[in-house]
A = this chain, B = another copy of it.
């Protein structure tokens, strides 16, 4: 157990972070990338106890944790490359024209870091969305110091990773305060961090309740600050008639795997599947039920999550309009999540908001709609989602234009004929969706575009070349892409 960091300690940490900010922001993109690569190397050569500690704290299997660590190293190194490439800076230059009436000034714009960023780690990704995870990597790339609040469920793992980061900073002679690690089981620690005047942005991955509290605190500050909270999603899947007719059993097999992957503990877990009542949907439901019965219960991340899963699943299954299709046949032991599939009519779903709620775990609800218009109604009534998926033939898509449109409107990633689980780390990834999936649908928490969350543009007007940042100098010494007099170019001026 780690003691909660006190408010007095947080004040000292934030003072140091603010001081470090002024030194760190002046480092070149190359130096920032170097720091990120040093952290990646440290993680690659992590102390032997890292994986066993994480296994013990999260109940996740060794192979999964090793993969996640590799993914975290990839995030750090690929965002480091993006940091150096500088596209996230959105450099724009309009050169002067003294002959115009009135004379046109020289103006040059680029992203500058917001300031110290507070990161709240996720329970379900002890590496990739925690201490040295995506939020930390993006903030460091943007030039912001980072203060991580360890997730209490894997505080020991977080502590080991924090030491790796601190060691990398020290070895590179970076300013003290560039990274800090705090512990806090109580919400007071989080509140003290988010409301501190030197905190300039917040990254969070977790529950709706937690994310919304941070969002509200941040907006009630004298100076409101942005909060990037990813708060969960039921990731609806629409089975369109043509596709379902063709391959009900195959889809069932595919989805049984996606629903139960990692004991259903992914933010992109498909929690809602929508089809049209009839023989093909019945075939799908039967096949999915058969698959699910064969999946063994798995130990969940921590007792709190297992308990919440059990309770939310029971609450959903006990709704009058809900039928239990199948539950895993194996008997669970303590802290295990039992895979389950339930079903309800479209009408029931539209009238009962309880059925819209996320049941975090290996659970999915199949909605039997009367017809396409009812499927459309479901799309129109659903809250914002990280992902939405269509299982559809090209013909289905062409025929159901209004449905396709309505589904796109509620999601951040729109998938065709695949499963939502598996979030590729690449520039084209948008991991963010309309509220309540996230608090800011305009930014992603996966992929190098996530760096933009922690920068704001500043225009420099009338500065001579010698005093401009390297990114904006005439000679383009960093060789980055810039828009010069409305043309995208790497050329010098």
Contact = CB atoms under 8 A, between A and B. Distances in A.
Interface stretch (A7-15, A42-50, A88-96, A187-195): A88-96
A422 interface: yes
Contact of A430 (B422, B436, B449, B458): B458
22 contacts: A26-B405, A93-B428, A94-B426, A94-B429, A104-B424, A105-B424, A107-B429, A109-B427, A109-B429, A114-B441, A224-B439, A226-B442, A394-B467, A412-B456, A412-B459, A416-B464, A417-B462, A427-B483, A430-B457, A442-B456, A449-B457, A488-B488
A80 to B, nearest CB: 13
Interface string A149-193: 000000000000000000000000000000000000000000000
Interface string A212-247: 000110010001101000000000000000000000
A161 to B, nearest CB: 25
A132 to B, nearest CB: 22
A411 interface: yes
Contacts of A424: 94, 104-105, 107
Contact of A461 (B87, B109, B115, B415): B415
A486 interface: yes
Contacts of A416: 460-464, 467
Given A90-B449, A107-B429, A430-B459, A224 B435 contact: yes
A393 to B, nearest CB: 11
Contacts of A486: 427
B418 A461 contact: yes
Interface in A390-427: 394, 397, 402, 405, 408-409, 411-418, 422, 424, 426-427
Contacts of A464: 394, 416
Interface centre among A115, A215, A416, A457 (most CB of B within 10 A): A457
A443 to B, nearest CB: 8
Contacts of A455: 442
Closest 10 CB pairs of A and B: A92-B428, A430-B459, A107-B428, A413-B459, A94-B428, A430-B457, A441-B456, A94-B426, A415-B461, A109-B428
Contacts of A456: 412, 432, 434, 441-442
Contacts of A428: 92-94, 107-109, 459, 483
Contacts of A463: 414, 416
A90 B439 CA distance: 21
B459 A414 contact: yes
A209 B350 CA distance: 40
A136 to B, nearest CB: 20
Contact of A215 (B104, B224, B414): B224
A92 B427 contact: yes
Contacts of A26: 405
A230 to B, nearest CB: 14
Contact of A427 (B94, B414, B434, B458): B94
A108 B415 CA distance: 11
B223 A459 contact: no
Interface residues of A, number: 72
Nearest to A404: B467
A98 interface: no
A120 interface: no
A26 B401 CA distance: 11
A213 to B, nearest CB: 13
Interface string A306-321: 0000000000000000
Given A94-B429, A226-B440, A432-B456, 10 more contacts: A92-B428, A104-B424, A105-B422, A413-B461, A414-B459, A416-B463, A417-B462, A418-B461, A430-B459, A434-B456
Contacts of A298: none
A467 B414 CA distance: 12
Contacts of A473: none
A351 interface: no
Contacts of A297: none
Contacts of A413: 458-459, 461
Contact of A458 (B397, B414, B417, B418): B414
Given A394-B466, A467-B416, A488 B483 contact: no
